[in-house]
């Protein structure tokens, strides 16, 4: 365990980044937030998220794109950060099939800028977002961090896999403690409009059909936003050490002889998408119209997190049920969008 007080959070106006930033500030930390406020979705939502803490005495907000090498270099030079949590990324599996360059530029070149700046500024711990998407064609569920992840099925997933490889290289070469967190289907208040829960809710309330790919047979390990945030914070304060028992002849992909670790953060509970919708219908008091469609390129059929390492190392496992999580989301959605049932 280490004592960390000054933290850089990239993607601080995003869904996960804003929730994390608010919790860190509530816990007495000093946070600098970085976000490029791009137009991937409604910028008003991003502004509303950060309005919850933008004027906090321990918060500084910088509109910077992590692709901007000089801006990132100057940010680190002019500030003292003990730790970095990199959540800035171009999200979205299907969008990555249409605009792969955007993912390469932000998720890979941008992450390189974060790694280079961390190398030069004595960062105690770099925590970064990976994704359950990287398991790709792997059918060995629940997904374990010890499993193979060499067969991603989307550009988005490939960039996240690349982030893990880059982080390991910098941990090995420069002794930077890095931890990658593979998030599993995060949902909850303040999520993105293109994410399933907000998209489904909007369609149901407007009596429009919701698109269910794979004919509604998808199963997901839905993980509530507060559980993700708690997991990040627990990991943040315990940087990885070099694994002295790591065996090159039988390498564990989740650890290394370098100060490097990978963890899943998921609810450890696989739920059919139709069950997810049933709970949402109950909260909204309205039935969904469904349009069943085949599996889309880039999608994985099922996600299911093995979180044994998270439990062993941090005594932590997400606990929020989907019933409770969806109920909280609906309450937020109705209030934010000024809707009534």
Catalytic residues: 156
Q: Are 255 and 242 in contact (CB under 8 A)?
A: no
CA distance 274 to 218: 8
Helix (H) or strand (E) holding 20: helix 15-26
CA distance 211 to 213: 6
Q: Provide CB contacts within 8 A for 187, sequence distance 6+.
A: 195, 196, 197, 222, 223, 224, 225, 325, 326, 329
Give the 3-state DSSP-derived string for 58-103, with helices as H, strands as E and coil as C.
CEEEEECCCCCHHHHHHHHHHCCCCEEEECCCCCCHHHHHHCHHHH
Fill in the DSSP letter of residue 202.
H
Beta-bridge partners for 210: 290
Measured in degrees and rounded to the nearest 5, phi and psi for residue 180 equal: -100, 135
HSE-CB of 335 using CA atoms within 13 angstroms: 9
* 3 state SS of 306: coil
């Amino acid at each position: 365990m280490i004592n960390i007080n000054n933290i850089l959070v990239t993607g601080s106006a995003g869904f996960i980044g804003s929730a994390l930033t608010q919790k860190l500030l509530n816990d007495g930390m000093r946070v600098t937030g970085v976000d490029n406020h791009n137009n991937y979705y409604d910028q008003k939502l991003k502004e509303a998220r950060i309005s919850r803490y933008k004027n906090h005495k321990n918060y500084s907000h910088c509109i910077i794109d992590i692709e901007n090498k000089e801006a990132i270099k100057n940010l680190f030079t002019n500030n003292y950060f003990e730790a970095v949590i990199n959540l800035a990324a171009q999200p979205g599996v299907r969008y990555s099939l249409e605009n792969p360059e955007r993912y390469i530029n932000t998720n890979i070149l941008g992450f390189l800028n974060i790694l280079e700046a961390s190398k030069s500024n004595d960062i105690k711990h770099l925590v970064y977002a990976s994704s359950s998407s990287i398991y790709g064609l792997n059918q060995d569920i629940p997904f374990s961090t010890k499993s193979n992840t060499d067969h991603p099925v989307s550009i988005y997933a490939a960039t996240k896999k690349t982030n893990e490889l880059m982080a390991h290289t910098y941990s090995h070469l420069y002794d930077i403690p890095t931890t990658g967190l593979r998030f599993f289907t995060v949902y909850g208040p303040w999520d993105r409009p293109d994410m399933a829960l907000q998209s489904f809710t909007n369609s149901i309330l407007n009596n429009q059909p919701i698109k269910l790919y794979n004919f509604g047979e998808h199963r997901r390990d839905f993980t509530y936003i507060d559980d993700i945030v708690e997991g990040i914070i627990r990991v943040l304060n315990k940087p990885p050490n070099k694994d002295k028992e790591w065996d090159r002849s039988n390498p564990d992909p989740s650890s290394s002889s370098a100060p490097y670790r990978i963890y899943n953060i998921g609810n450890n509970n696989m739920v059919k998408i139709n069950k997810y919708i049933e709970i949402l219908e109950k909260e909204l008091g309205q039935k969904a119209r469904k349009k069943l469609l085949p599996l889309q390129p880039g999608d994985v059929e099922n996600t299911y997190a093995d979180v044994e390492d998270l439990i062993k190392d941090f005594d932590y496992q997400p606990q929020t049920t989907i019933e409770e999580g969806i109920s909280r989301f609906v309450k937020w959605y109705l209030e934010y969008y000024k809707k009534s049932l």
